[in-house]
Chain A
Amino acid sequence: MIAEAGLVALWLAAALAFLQLALAWFGLVGGKDELLEAMRPVAVTQGVLTGLSFLLLITLFVQSDMSVALVATNSHSMKPWLYKVAGTWGNHEGSMLLWVTVMGVAGGAVALFERALRRDTHMATLGAQAAISLGFYAFLLFASNPFARLETPPPDGQGLNPLLQDPGLAFHPPTLYVGYVGLSVAFSFAVGALLTRRVDAAFAKAMRPWVLAAWIMLTLGITAGSYWAYYELGWGGWWFWDPVENASLMPWLAATALLHSATVLATRDALRAWTIMLAVVAFSMSMVGTFLVRSGILTSVHAFAVDPQRGTFILGLLALYIGGALALFALRIGTVREGQQFELVSRETTLVINNLLLTVILGLVLIGTLYPLMTEAFGHKVSVGPPYFDRIVGPITLVLVMFMAAGPLTRWRKDRAKAVGTRMLVPAIVLVVAFVALGALAWGRMGILPFLGLTVAAAVAVGSVAPLWKRNLRRTPLFNWGMVIAHLGCAVSLAGMASDSAFTVEKLVAAKPGDTISTAGWTLHFDRIVPVAGDNWTALQGDMTVSRGNGAAVAIHPQSRFFTNPPTTTTEAALLTRWDGQLYVVLGQEAEQGRWQMRIWWKPFVTLIWLGGIMIALGGALALLGRERRGWVMKIRKRRAMA
C-alpha cells in the first residue's frame, strides 16, 4: 500500500504542477494578477505531496520491503538503520525523487514566502517552476518509477554499494541536491522576469536570498563531498576532477558569479542582461551535470545508474528548458532597458572582473569535462586529467582571489585609483613579504603553483578582513560580516590546498607486525593485525600506535573491509587530526612474508581546505540572515509609522 500511496502522491503533484502552469498562463495572458492567490496553495500542496512521496519511499527502505524493485536492488535487510534511510537516495530513482521533492518544496516556498516580487513576475516565476517540474515528474513517472513492484519479491535485497555505506551518504547528497535543484528557483525567476520584462534592482533584491540559500547548501554539499572522497576512497586526495565533481563545481561557479552580479543589479541597477544569463546558466549547469552523470556518456567513478535511454529523456528536457530559456533570452533581452553605467575604477568593475574570471573557469572546466566527448567525435578517445585542470584552473583562480580581496576595498559607482591603492597597501605589503619570506625558505622545494598559492592566500586573508578596518565592529551590518568571513574562507581554503600539495609527505612501506616506521616526525608502531566484524562486514584491522616527538602515543586502526552484499572491499583509512595537519594511514594488501602494504601520509594543514569551505557557507548564511533581518526590521518600522 505504501508504494502505491507514494505513486499516487507523485501523480497528484504532477497534476497540480500542470494546474499551476495553466493558472500562470491564464493569469499572464488575461492580465489577471489575482490568480496568483490561487497559485499559492497549489504550489504549496505540490511541495507537501512530493515531500510525502519521498517520506513514503524512505519508509519502504526502512521496512526493507523487498517487493519494491528499487529496495530489492539497492538495499539489504542486514544493513544498519542509517544506511537504509540514506540508501533511499543512493540510487538513480531515489535520487531523482529527491530532485523532484526539492524542486516541489522550493516552488512551494517561493509561493508562500516571496512577497517582494511584482505579482505578474511572481506568477510567471511560479509558472516556470511548474513547467520545469512537469518535465522531471514525467521523467520520474515514465522512465524512473521508484515505486515499481516486483511480481516475485526476492528473499532479500542486493545491498548498497559499500563505498556509499558511510555517514557521508546521509549528509552529502541531500545538501548538494538542495543546492543543485534550489538553483531552479533562480532559473524560474529569470524566466519570469523575461516573460514580464521586469529586470531591475527590485527583481534582483527578490531573487538574491533564494540564490544565496541554494549557494550555501551547494557550498556545504561540495565541501562535504570532497571530505568524504578524501577519507573514504583512501587515495589521500581531496579533489579528483571527476566528471561528477565537476558537475557540482560548475553550478557553484555560475551561482557564485550570479550572487555577485545580482548584488550589482540590486545595488546599482547595472548588469541586467548578464545577471539573467547567469541565472539561466547556473541551473542549466545543474541539469547538464545530471545528464552527463546519468546518461553514462562520460566515465566516472560515480556512474551508478548509467542508462542511455534515460540519457535521451534528460537530453530532451535539456533541449526544452535550456534551449527555451536561451531563446527567450535572445528574443526578450533586447527590450530590457540598459542598466546604469559605472566608472572604470569602481566596485562594479571589480565585480565584473570577478564574474568574467568565474565564467572563464566555468568554461574551462566544462571544456575539460567534455573533452573526451569532443575528441571522440573526431575518432579517438582522450580524456584530460588533473594535470590539465590544475595547470589551467589554478593560475586563473589565483588571479580571481586577488580581485576578490580588491572588490570590497573599492567604492561603488566611482572611486579614485589612488585611494584604492592606499587601502590595498597592507595586503600588497603582505603579498611581497610572504613572497620573499617563503621564497627564501622554500624556493625550489615546492611547485610554483603551491608557492604562489600560499603567498596569495596570506595576502588575501589580510585583504579580506581589511574592509573591517577602522569600522565600529558592533555596528557593522551582519551581511558585511558574512562577506568578510566568506572571503576569508576562500583564503583559508586556498592555503589548505597549497599546503597540502607543497608539504605532504608520503611513505609507502611493506611492514610486518612489530615493525616501527618513522616519517615526517611521526613514529608509527605496527602492533598487530586483528580481524573485526561489523553489522554487514568483516575487516582486517591494523592496530597501530603513533606518536610525534615525545608526545603521548595514540592508537589508530586502519581497516580493509570486506562486504558480502554486494561483495566488495573498501579501505577505511585511519585519520589522526592535529592542529597542524592530518596523519592519514591506509592498510593495503598483504605482501609476502607476513608483510602488509601501508601508505602513510602526513598532510600539513590539509583540514584548512574544508574549514574554508565551511567558512564560505557560514559567510553566506550570515549574509542571508543579515539581509532578511534588515527586511523584517524595516517592515516593522513601517507598520509602526503607519499606526
Chain B
Amino acid sequence: MTRTLIWLPLLLFLAFFGLFASGLLKPDDHLINSRLVGQPLPAFSLPAAASDRPALDSTEFATGKPRLLNIFASWCVPCAAEAPQLLALKQAGVEIDAIAIRDARPDVDRFLTRYGNPYTRIGLDARSTVQMALGSSGVPETFVVDGRGKILHQHIGDIRADDVPDILKIVKDAR
C-alpha cells in the first residue's frame, strides 16, 4: 500500500506534465467560438457613418443573402491593414456592411478615401453600445451573418490574407 502510495505524487506530476506538454505543442487557435454564433443578430439601428453610404439597420441582414458585418474604426491601425482583404472579399462577390466604432463622419470619409471602401452600408456606433451587444471586444472584428440574420461566425482581429479563403467558404456554404 504505502510502497505504491509514495510513487503517487510523481505519477500525478507526470500526468500534469503530459497535460502541459500537450497544451504547449498544440497549435494555438485564435478562433474563439462566440456565444452569439448560432444566435440571431441583436436588433439595432444606427445612423450613417459616411457621407456616401446609407445607415445600417439590423433588419437589412434578413434579406436572404449572407453578408459580412465588419466592426472597424478610422482610428484603428489594424483596420487599415485589413482593408485590402476586405476589398478582395468584396471583389469575390461578398456583401459587406460595417459598424464604425467611436468615430466621426469626416474621419470615416478620410479613412475610406485612403484605404478603399468595400462597404455597402456603414452605421455609426458612437458609444460602442451595439458593439457591446454583439459581444465584440475590440476592433477590427468581422461577423458572418446568414440570410436570416443569424450569426454564423465571428472573426476576432484583422482578417489576414490567409483567412480570406476560410471566410469565403463560410459565406459560400451559407448560400
Q: Does B26 contact A (CB under 8 A)?
A: yes
Which residue in B9, B28, B127, B128 is a CB contact (below 8 Å) of A308? B28
Inter-subunit contact A330/B19 (CB<8 Å): no
Inter-subunit contact A370/B19 (CB<8 Å): yes
Inter-subunit contact A323/B24 (CB<8 Å): no
Question: Which residue of chain A lies nearest to B3 when distances are taken between CB atoms in the complex?
Answer: A334
Of listed A281, A308, A330, A590, residue having the most chain B CB within 10 A: A330
Of residues 317 through 368 on chain A, the ones whose CB sits less than 8 Å from some CB of chain B are: 318-319, 322-323, 326-327, 329-330, 333-334
Inter-subunit contact A323/B16 (CB<8 Å): no
Question: Which residue of chain B lies nearest to A277 when distances are taken between CB atoms in the complex?
Answer: B9
Inter-subunit contact B24/A295 (CB<8 Å): yes
Inter-subunit contact A589/B127 (CB<8 Å): yes
Q: Does A151 contact B (CB under 8 A)?
A: no
Report A-chain residues with C-beta under 8 Å of the C-beta of B22. Answer: 377
Q: What's the interface size class on B, roughly? A: 20 to 34
Inter-subunit contact B23/A297 (CB<8 Å): yes
Inter-subunit contact A315/B10 (CB<8 Å): no
Which residue in B13, B21, B24, B26 is a CB contact (below 8 Å) of A322? B13
Q: Does A526 contact B (CB under 8 A)?
A: no
Q: Does B92 contact A (CB under 8 A)?
A: no
Q: How far is the CB of B45 from chain A (nearest CB, A)?
A: 15
Report B-chain residues with C-beta under 8 Å of the C-beta of A326. Answer: 9-10, 13
Q: Does A591 contact B (CB under 8 A)?
A: yes
Q: Does B1 contact A (CB under 8 A)?
A: no
Inter-subunit contact B6/A373 (CB<8 Å): no
Q: Does A312 contact B (CB under 8 A)?
A: yes
Inter-subunit contact B19/A308 (CB<8 Å): no
| CB within 8 Å for A329 and B9 given contacts A311-B24, A589-B127, A592-B127 | yes
Interface of A, helix, strand, loop or mixed by DSSP: helix
Report A-chain residues with C-beta under 8 Å of the C-beta of B21. Answer: 315
Report A-chain residues with C-beta under 8 Å of the C-beta of B2. Answer: 334
Q: Does B44 contact A (CB under 8 A)?
A: no
Inter-subunit contact A315/B17 (CB<8 Å): yes
Of residues 276 through 292 on chain A, the ones whose CB sits less than 8 Å from some CB of chain B are: 277, 280-281, 284, 288, 291
For the complex, what is the distance from the CA of A333 to the CA of B128, rounded to whole Å? 61
Q: Does A374 contact B (CB under 8 A)?
A: yes
| Chain A interfacial residues counted at CB < 8 A | 34
For the complex, what is the distance from the CA of A370 to the CA of B15, rounded to whole Å? 12
Of residues 238 through 290 on chain A, the ones whose CB sits less than 8 Å from some CB of chain B are: 273, 277, 280-281, 284, 288
Q: Does A376 contact B (CB under 8 A)?
A: yes
When A and B form their complex, what is the total count of cross-chain residue pairs whose Cβ atoms lie within 8 Å?
62
Report B-chain residues with C-beta under 8 Å of the C-beta of A329. Answer: 6, 9-10
Q: How far is the CB of B133 from chain A (nearest CB, A)?
A: 15
Q: How far is the CB of B147 from chain A (nearest CB, A)?
A: 28
Question: Which residue of chain B lies nearest to A326 when distances are taken between CB atoms in the complex?
Answer: B10
Report A-chain residues with C-beta under 8 Å of the C-beta of B14. Answer: 323
Report A-chain residues with C-beta under 8 Å of the C-beta of B33. Answer: 381
Q: How far is the CB of B24 from chain A (nearest CB, A)?
A: 5
Of residues 33 through 51 on chain B, the ones whose CB sits less than 8 Å from some CB of chain A are: 33
For the complex, what is the distance from the CA of A373 to the CA of B6, rounded to whole Å? 27
Question: Which residue of chain B lies nearest to A333 when distances are taken between CB atoms in the complex?
Answer: B6
| CB within 8 Å for A373 and B7 given contacts A295-B24, A326-B13, A589-B127 | no
Report B-chain residues with C-beta under 8 Å of the C-beta of A590. Answer: 127
Report A-chain residues with C-beta under 8 Å of the C-beta of B127. Answer: 589-592
Inter-subunit contact A323/B10 (CB<8 Å): yes
Report A-chain residues with C-beta under 8 Å of the C-beta of B17. Answer: 315, 318-319, 323
Q: How far is the CB of A360 from chain B (nearest CB, A)?
A: 14
Which residue in A273, A277, A296, A370 is a CB contact (below 8 Å) of B16? A370
Which residue in B13, B19, B128 is a CB contact (below 8 Å) of A377? B19
Q: How far is the CB of B98 from chain A (nearest CB, A)?
A: 21
Report A-chain residues with C-beta under 8 Å of the C-beta of B9. Answer: 277, 280-281, 326, 329-330
Inter-subunit contact A374/B6 (CB<8 Å): no
For the complex, what is the distance from the CA of A370 to the CA of B127, rounded to whole Å? 37
Q: How far is the CB of A470 from chain B (nearest CB, A)?
A: 43
For the complex, what is the distance from the CA of A33 to the CA of B23, rounded to whole Å? 45
A 118-148 binary contact with B (CB < 8 Å = 1; else 0): 0000000000000000000000000000000
Q: How far is the CB of B168 from chain A (nearest CB, A)?
A: 26
Question: Which residue of chain B lies nearest to A315 when distances are taken between CB atoms in the complex?
Answer: B20
Report B-chain residues with C-beta under 8 Å of the C-beta of A308. Answer: 24, 28
Report B-chain residues with C-beta under 8 Å of the C-beta of A370. Answer: 16, 19
For the complex, what is the distance from the CA of A296 to the CA of B26, rounded to whole Å? 12
Question: Which residue of chain B lies nearest to A597 when distances are taken between CB atoms in the complex?
Answer: B127
Q: How far is the CB of A291 from chain B (nearest CB, A)?
A: 7
Report A-chain residues with C-beta under 8 Å of the C-beta of B3. Answer: 334
Q: How far is the CB of B92 from chain A (nearest CB, A)?
A: 31
Question: Which residue of chain A lies nearest to B8 when distances are taken between CB atoms in the complex?
Answer: A330
Q: How far is the CB of B72 from chain A (nearest CB, A)?
A: 17
For the complex, what is the distance from the CA of A297 to the CA of B19, rounded to whole Å? 10
Report A-chain residues with C-beta under 8 Å of the C-beta of B16. Answer: 288, 370
Report B-chain residues with C-beta under 8 Å of the C-beta of A319. Answer: 17
For the complex, what is the distance from the CA of A425 to the CA of B7, rounded to whole Å? 43
For the complex, what is the distance from the CA of A319 to the CA of B16, rounded to whole Å? 10
For the complex, what is the distance from the CA of A288 to the CA of B9, rounded to whole Å? 15
Inter-subunit contact A297/B24 (CB<8 Å): yes
For the complex, what is the distance from the CA of A373 to the CA of B128, rounded to whole Å? 32
Inter-subunit contact A327/B10 (CB<8 Å): yes
Inter-subunit contact A330/B20 (CB<8 Å): no
Report B-chain residues with C-beta under 8 Å of the C-beta of A327. Answer: 10
For the complex, what is the distance from the CA of A117 to the CA of B155, rounded to whole Å? 60
Q: How far is the CB of A299 from chain B (nearest CB, A)?
A: 10
Report A-chain residues with C-beta under 8 Å of the C-beta of B20. Answer: 291, 295, 297, 315, 318, 373
For the complex, what is the distance from the CA of A297 to the CA of B26, rounded to whole Å? 10
Extra inter-chain contacts (18) besides given A291-B20, A312-B24, A329-B9, CB under 8 Å = A273-B6, A284-B13, A288-B16, A295-B20, A295-B24, A308-B24, A315-B17, A315-B21, A318-B20, A327-B10, A334-B2, A370-B16, A373-B19, A373-B23, A374-B19, A376-B23, A589-B128, A590-B127
A-B interface, 4 closest residue pairs, ranked by CB to CB distance from nearest: A326-B10, A297-B23, A330-B6, A330-B7
Would you mind naming 10 contact pairs between A and B with Cβ atoms under 8 Å apart? A280-B9, A295-B20, A297-B24, A312-B24, A323-B14, A326-B10, A334-B2, A370-B16, A374-B19, A592-B127
